[in-house]
Amino acid sequence: MPLRRTEQVSDRYRGLDTWQDDAILTAMLQGQASAVATVQRALPALSAAASDIVGRYESGGRLIYAGAGSSGVIARLDALELPGTYGIPSERIVTLIAGGEESLRCLNNGAEDDREEARSAIEPLELTKQDSVIGISASGSTPYVLAVMEAARAASALTLGMACNADAPLLKLCMHEVLLDSEPEVVAGSTRMNAGTAQKCALNLLSTLVAIRLGHVYDGMMVNLRAENSKLKERATDIVTRASGVDALTAGQYLEETGGAVKPAILMGAGVRSARDADALLSSVKGNLRRALEVNAEETEGSVACRSGEETKEANKDQGKKEISHG
């Protein structure tokens, strides 16, 4: 049976340990660049998966990651960034990693073979068809990840498998297959390198596209961020200024009224009367800022047109009265 691509030893790196440092570093860098390039071929799969995830999330579902070893850590990193960057509630994001939380301190490589642990971890989540479960495994055959995805499929949840070997069991198991066909590692089997880079890149693209489609990005700005430090507070003020056209002082005042929430502050800058009205408008369009701005503009135009019509009627009445009196 041929070795999986992620385990292959490449003749290209024969004598690697005798090379000069710059040659070794160049070889590793080329491997990283090649790994990123492989994600290009996965873009259609990532796009289809993102669309499906958005639909289920908007129906109340969660985003659940599952991985082991380096893949699990990469998955956890992606999940941790979403609440602060895009305001996605942390309670709607779950990461399952073989070996549990302890593996984030010291990786438990033996745990990746433990199917029972995977089943014990996934069962309390009580998966539904609204949930989206992303399984990440460089080899595509990690027992822990396969067990999680089997449970997800049984619950009719969305299943996405991300692997670096064609025909991997994980890909065959899932409705969305993301093959990251990275080259053999410079150090054979060290999948934290090429495979890990491809996985991180693909997850970055996937979760960011989901956030964009959920309406958390406007003109390239993260309009649903949590302004939890001075840097982010400055960023929030700048975003409100750029998106609504108000000055920084006014933007800061609106952010105070909204409790630091950027989207409603932008809407107030666009003419919505209060933070409460802005929140109500956002709720009516599932939090999509662009759509909320469009609705506000339509309502404003309608209001202006209505007032103009009434003024025209009053003017016509006055003109009529004058003509009668002159007659």
Question: Has 81 been annotated as catalytic?
Answer: yes
Continuous segment of H or E residues that includes residue 63? strand 63-67
At 308, list the tokens.
């103009």
Question: Has 183 been annotated as catalytic?
Answer: no
Q: Is 181 exposed, middle or buried (0-12, 13-18, 19+ CB in 10 A)?
A: middle
Task: Let me know: does 136 contact 66? Beta carbons within 8 Å.
Answer: yes
Continuous segment of H or E residues that includes residue 133? strand 132-136
Give me the catalytic one of 112, 177, 183, 185: 112
Short-list 174, 191, 173, CA closest to 182: 191
- Residue 4 vs residues 100, 186, 314: alpha-carbon distances, Å: 27, 15, 82
Biggest CA–CA distance in the chain, Å, is: 110
Task: Let me know: does 137 contact 170? Beta carbons within 8 Å.
Answer: yes
Give me the catalytic one of 7, 58, 81, 150: 81
Give catalytic residue positions. 81, 112
